[in-house]
Chains A and B, each alone.
Chain A
Amino acid sequence: GQNIDQPTEMTATEGAIVQINCTYQTSGFNGLFWYQQHAGEAPTFLSYNVLDGLEEKGRFSSFLSRSKGYSYLLLKELQMKDSASYLCAVRLQAGTALIFGKGTTLSVSS
């Protein structure tokens, strides 16, 4: 079976930096996605990695190591609105849907 692991919960304070890790063991790999999901809302796309390395997009960065089956999402200058669930997802092959982890609930406090 496919396995995607993320921590269940994390807490941080406003202005801080937080790193959310994701490890995967899958039968194939064609890209790793990070989505943000606020309570009661739809997931929204944050980042996509298919090659090793760091992708930076504003306050958010995502890193991928395919040999280690590992990714992380880095959130800088945390704001209260960043309190949400962060979903790590893997696409096994081109043309297929995503397989999601259970998500990490991030709580940002002042």
Chain B
Amino acid sequence: EAGVAQSPRYKIIEKRQSVAFWCNPISGHATLYWYQQILGQGPKLLIQFQNNGVVDDSQLPKDRFSAERLKGVDSTLKIQPAKLEDSAVYLCASSLVAGSSYEQYFGPGTRLTVT
């Protein structure tokens, strides 16, 4: 079974530029999460999708971050414009059924450096 795929793996941009990340969850997983992990900290939820609907985006900085999950499969996360404090690893995760004991499966992440 293929895991969660993310691209790119690394990205370096200057502040005020824009960037987009892509995630393809495990086939059949209805729930998709985007987390931000700053160095030395645990992952923090940015947004949660159930199929193509948003379940929780309360911690998403909506003035600069946006995300979509068209057709309930792939998802993209965009930052525009980027700030220095956005430097982090962006992790995508998926789970079979939200709220069950089923664990979340994480992708390899995209390491973003904003200079």
Contact = CB atoms under 8 A, between A and B. Distances in A.
A74 B48 CA distance: 31
B55 interface: yes
A43 B48 contact: no
A58 to B, nearest CB: 16
A96 B47 CA distance: 10
A103 B41 contact: yes
Majority SS of interface residues in chain A?
loop
A44 interface: yes
B67 to A, nearest CB: 13
A42 B108 contact: yes
Interface in B11-56: 33, 35, 40-45, 48, 50, 55-56
**Top-3 shortest CB links A-B:** A100-B42, A94-B99, A95-B99
Interface of B: 4, 33, 35, 40-45, 48, 50, 55-56, 91, 98-101, 103-109
Given A45-B105, A48-B103, A96-B98, 13 more contacts: A4-B42, A30-B99, A42-B91, A43-B106, A87-B43, A95-B98, A96-B55, A97-B33, A97-B104, A98-B43, A98-B104, A99-B45, A101-B42
